Amino acid sequence: GNSVTQMEGPVTLSEEAFLTINCTYTATGYPSLFWYVQYPGEGLQLLLKATKADDKGSNKGFEATYRKETTSFHLEKGSVQVSDSAVYFCALSDRGTGGGADGLTFGKGTHLIIQP
Amino acid sequence: DTGVSQNPRHKITKRGQNVTFRCDPISEHNRLYWYRQTLGQGPEFLTYFQNEAQLEKSRLLSDRFSAERPKGSFSTLEIQRTEQGDSAMYLCASSLAASSGTQYFGPGTRLTVL
């Protein structure tokens, strides 16, 4: 079956530090990959996505590259801000398996804390 | 664009009672999904609809869970004979069938079973 594994949190960084949150996946088909973010007290929001190998998704200074050879989709940002403090979820949508299920498979989430 | 809405936002019930949650998707979206999220975990997919057809329901957690989307617009999720283990956040999402899987989530309904 499909699965997503992301690094355990919480991850605590100082403002302006470089961020990497690792995400690896297992899928039987040709997945699309996503990063969702959940800010305190708010719902899940799509941060970025990539639909095929070697695609790079980017938004708000965050980026992630779909690496089929390493089955990874690591999230990076060059300089984090206090306002980036949130829970980040890696997810996949598996297409082409013929199984019919079209729901997203999520990782457990990584809580990011940015200190001023 | 008003986004995905869910009602109620919070529900407290006693064990054994039935509960029903409502989801209103983004108006032009023909796909609608239900997920459950427990503390410290990512959302877990339960079921989805394309228009009024329920295309996947094998992931529903037990036969106490059911969902409907009678006119292809809003959807309801019902849990019968609630148990304490049903306490969780229930999320709804919607998307366009022609999209690359991008789903837009509502704020969720938090269920507490006493």
pLDDT digits (tens, 9 = 90+) for B5-44: 999 999 999 999 999 999 999 998 999 999 999 988 999 9
The percentage of residues in chain A with a pLDDT greater than 90, rounded to a whole number, is: 76
- CA neighbor of A105 nearest in space, from A73, A77, A68: A73
Choose the mutation target among B44, B105, B109 for the interface with A, i.e. most A CBs under 10 Å. B105
- Kindly list the residues of chain B whose beta carbon comes within 8 Å of any beta carbon in chain A: 31, 33, 35, 40-48, 55-56, 58-59, 91, 93, 100-108
Using a CB-CB cut-off of 8 Å, the residues of chain A touching B45 are: 101, 103-105
- CA separation for the pair B77, B84 (Å, rounded): 17
CB B101 within 8 A of CB B15: no
Average pLDDT, chain A: 91
Report pLDDT digits (tens) over A68-110.
Answer: 999 999 999 999 999 999 999 999 987 644 444 578 999 999 9
- pLDDT tens figures, B73-95: 999 999 999 999 999 999 999 99
Residues A112, A84: contact at Cβ < 8 Å?
A: yes
Supply the DSSP symbol for B15: T
Task: Compare all CA atoms of chain B with the CA of A10 and give the residue at the minimum distance.
Answer: B40
* pLDDT exceeds 90 at position B71: no
Measured CA to CA, the distance from residue A47 to residue B18 in angstroms comes to 35
B105–A36 CB contact, under 8 Å: yes
